[in-house]
Amino acid sequence: MRMDRCCFLIILSILTSGVFAQGTALPIHLNSIGYLPDMPKAATVTSACADFAVRSAADHKTVFSGKVTGPVHQDDLNLDAWTADFSAFTSPGTYYLEVPGLGRSCNFKIDKAVYNDAFHAVMRGFYLWRCGTAVEGTHNGIRCAHAACHLDDAYQDYIGQPNVQRDGVGGWHDAGDFGKYTVNAGVTMGVLFMAWDQYQAKLKTLKLDLPDTEPGLPDFLNELKWEIDWLLKMQYPDGSGRVCHKLTRQHFSAFIMPETDHEKRFFTDWGSAATADFTAIMAMAARYFEPYDSTYAKTCLDAALNSYKFLKENPDNKRPDLKDFTTGGYGTSDPDDRLWAAAEVWQTTGDLNALNDFETHARDRRRLIEADWDWGSVANLGMFTYVTSTRPGRDPNLVNDIRRALLDMADTLVAQARADIFARPMGRRYYWGCNGTVARQAVILLTAHKLQPKPEYLNTALDAVSHLFGRNYYGRSFVTGLGHLPPMHPHDRRSGADGIDAPWPGYLVGGGTTATNWQDIQDDYRTNEICINWQSALVYALAPFLSR
């Protein structure tokens, strides 16, 4: 390469990578999407400092200045940290933080609609995950697309019909792999329906630019329907009400595009956790689709009640037989799933037997509210439905105990965020997919907020959002295509195989399994994959902060 061309390319790549304009991962860690005018605003600085200034991005004028507080030492990160609080500054605009001696942060916005675009991209992530159809989208001028995939889903060899196909087309791919798993669909749909339940006023008019909008059906529900339509196909065709644990190949594919993945995929053996999660989702779907499409709601309700009847007649925990499969396991015991199913069936129908089932399960639990909850632990969803219900007949003592446990847990999260230099509300726990749990803390906080409004609950939910968009150890956004220095190499087959430099946009990566080991490397599926259950939690966490 000639020298002048080489220099030009270096300068161009510096400019386009944002290094020149935005700074690399500087010691100033903040929510790189930005802040709401009337909410708290803070950044974490990890080098010694005294003062800071907020400056206008356009003309570099100082619009606010202050003194940092600190330092505070955090052991697991081995860092000293200072906090720059600029909550008092509320004027909309585009700014950066300047810390004398250290430099400047990336640009960020203050605006009442500051999270609207991010929400749109994150929710569109579900659309882009659609299986059984062609999808496409353009983000920041870059187009991502794939042709219709997995149209042969799926074979019934493992449910007693060797070499016989039945329609299992549709749904969302689970993650960076192309499998479809009932149990993980459970917590995902549960959290998405909770977002709808609590933030419907904001979500109702939201446009997702879907190719298949239906008049009168909000886009948000339309996208959820894509998954429900598929889930309905996961019930056994024999009418028994059992539900297949998953629909996948026997082994993960290489990094190929989904439309070139032609290996056989199978409906697998049923499991009682999958059957219970299916029941809960269908009962919720019946409730939330009723105002828009009562025929569809009835289909969902019938499916829920059929599976619920089966669960009642078959009380044992049944793990699926998956010995021929090495795709995702999602192995989990079922008491929490049965509890959740009972709560949703009761909430939808008012059936007192289901209420009694829920209360019996709830009284059996060691802890009423779990801090670390995810696909393997969905009891919280049932507890939230029960404790916020306006239906008559609940046991007042149990209501009180759950309410207390929920408020205590929310208070714990507030305290943990305050004790963390990056305001991470879940304490010092790190594991596979914990970024999803960070976002999912918002469900605890905002359900507590519904029972007993407290600004700290809302603020801490926003802390979770800020953490994921850059106020973290890495000073980077954890969401592809959004914010400062986002992941470029997620463990996502589409992103790895489509030949385009940018990853598919709007996806939250799992995050470090220790305090400091996240790497933006495609092979690192433990820390850098994307997944529907984490994504749904981010949708929920952003929803209360939308401007409508």
State the catalytic residues. Answer: 177, 491, 520, 529
Residue among 382 and 433 whose Cβ is closer to ligand 9MR: 433
CB of 175 to ligand 9MR, least distance (A): 3
Among 188-196, 311-319, 325-333, 410-418, which window interacts with ligand 9MR (CB under 6 A)?
325-333
Contact 168, 238 (CB under 8 A): no
Distance CA 189, CA 228 (A): 9
Question: What letter does residue 392 receive in the DSSP assignment?
Answer: S
Collect all residues with Cβ–Cβ distance below 8 Å to 396 and sequence separation of at least 6: none
Distance CA 494, CA 490 (A): 10
CA-closest candidate to residue 34, choices 17, 52, 57? 57
What is the DSSP code string of 107-157? Answer: -EEE-TTTTHHHHHHHHHHHHHTBSSS-EEEEETTEEEEE----TT--EEG
Element at 28 (helix H, strand E): strand 28-29
Regarding 433 and contact with ligand 9MR (CB under 6 A), the answer is: yes
> What are the structure tokens assigned to 233, written together?
């196909």
CB of 531 to ligand 9MR, least distance (A): 4
Count of residues interacting with ligand 9MR (CB under 6 A): 12
> What are the structure tokens assigned to 387, written together?
């404790």
- Which does residue 329 touch among Zn ion, ligand 9MR, none (CB within 5 to 8 A, set by kind)? ligand 9MR
Distance CA 348, CA 280 (A): 10
CB of 281 to Zn ion, least distance (A): 20
Q: Which residue is nearest to Zn ion (CB)?
A: 131
- Which does residue 531 touch among Zn ion, ligand 9MR, none (CB within 5 to 8 A, set by kind)? ligand 9MR
Contact 360, 341 (CB under 8 A): no
* C-beta neighbour count of 364 within 10 angstroms: 9
Among 177, 344, 359, 520, binds ligand 9MR (CB under 6 A): 177
Per-position x/- string for 120-159, each x denoting binding to ligand 9MR as judged by CB under 6 A, each - no binding? ----------------------------------------
Residue among 362 and 439 whose Cβ is closer to ligand 9MR: 439
Among 303, 462, 531, 537, binds ligand 9MR (CB under 6 A): 531
* C-beta neighbour count of 291 within 10 angstroms: 10
Per-position x/- string for 210-249, each x denoting binding to ligand 9MR as judged by CB under 6 A, each - no binding? ----------------------------------------
Among 175, 195, 409, 468, binds ligand 9MR (CB under 6 A): 175
* Side chain identity at residue 485, one-letter code: L
CB of 230 to Zn ion, least distance (A): 10
CB of 182 to Zn ion, least distance (A): 16
Regarding 329 and contact with ligand 9MR (CB under 6 A), the answer is: yes
Angle at alpha carbon of residue 190, lines to 186 and 192, rounded to 5°? 120
Among 112-120, 295-303, 328-336, 536-544, which window interacts with ligand 9MR (CB under 6 A)?
328-336
Regarding 328 and contact with ligand 9MR (CB under 6 A), the answer is: yes
SS3 label, residue 541: helix
Regarding 432 and contact with ligand 9MR (CB under 6 A), the answer is: yes
> What are the structure tokens assigned to 479, written together?
């969401």
Regarding 255 and contact with ligand 9MR (CB under 6 A), the answer is: no
Residue among 114 and 131 whose Cβ is closer to Zn ion: 131
Among 205-213, 222-230, 283-291, 326-334, which window interacts with ligand 9MR (CB under 6 A)?
326-334
CA distances from 521 to 482, 489, 515 (A): 17, 5, 17
Residue among 180 and 403 whose Cβ is closer to Zn ion: 180
Residue among 64 and 255 whose Cβ is closer to ligand 9MR: 255
Regarding 277 and contact with ligand 9MR (CB under 6 A), the answer is: no
- Which does residue 481 touch among Zn ion, ligand 9MR, none (CB within 5 to 8 A, set by kind)? none
Among 98, 111, 153, 174, binds ligand 9MR (CB under 6 A): 174
Distance CA 379, CA 364 (A): 11
CA-closest candidate to residue 231, choices 134, 303, 326? 303
CA-closest candidate to residue 529, choices 491, 495, 482? 491
Element at 336 (helix H, strand E): helix 335-349
- Which does residue 529 touch among Zn ion, ligand 9MR, none (CB within 5 to 8 A, set by kind)? ligand 9MR
Q: Which residue is nearest to ligand 9MR (CB)?
A: 328
SS3 label, residue 163: strand
CB of 489 to ligand 9MR, least distance (A): 15
* Alpha helices, DSSP H, located in 213-293: 219-232, 272-289
Distance CA 62, CA 138 (A): 36
In the complex, which residues of this chain contact Zn ion (CB under 5 A)? 131, 149-150, 258
Residue among 218 and 436 whose Cβ is closer to ligand 9MR: 436
CB of 461 to Zn ion, least distance (A): 33
Collect all residues with Cβ–Cβ distance below 8 Å to 305 and sequence separation of at least 6: 345, 349
Beta-strand pair 34-35/108-110: parallel
Binding site for ligand 9MR (CB under 6 A): 174-175, 177, 179, 328-330, 432-433, 525, 529, 531
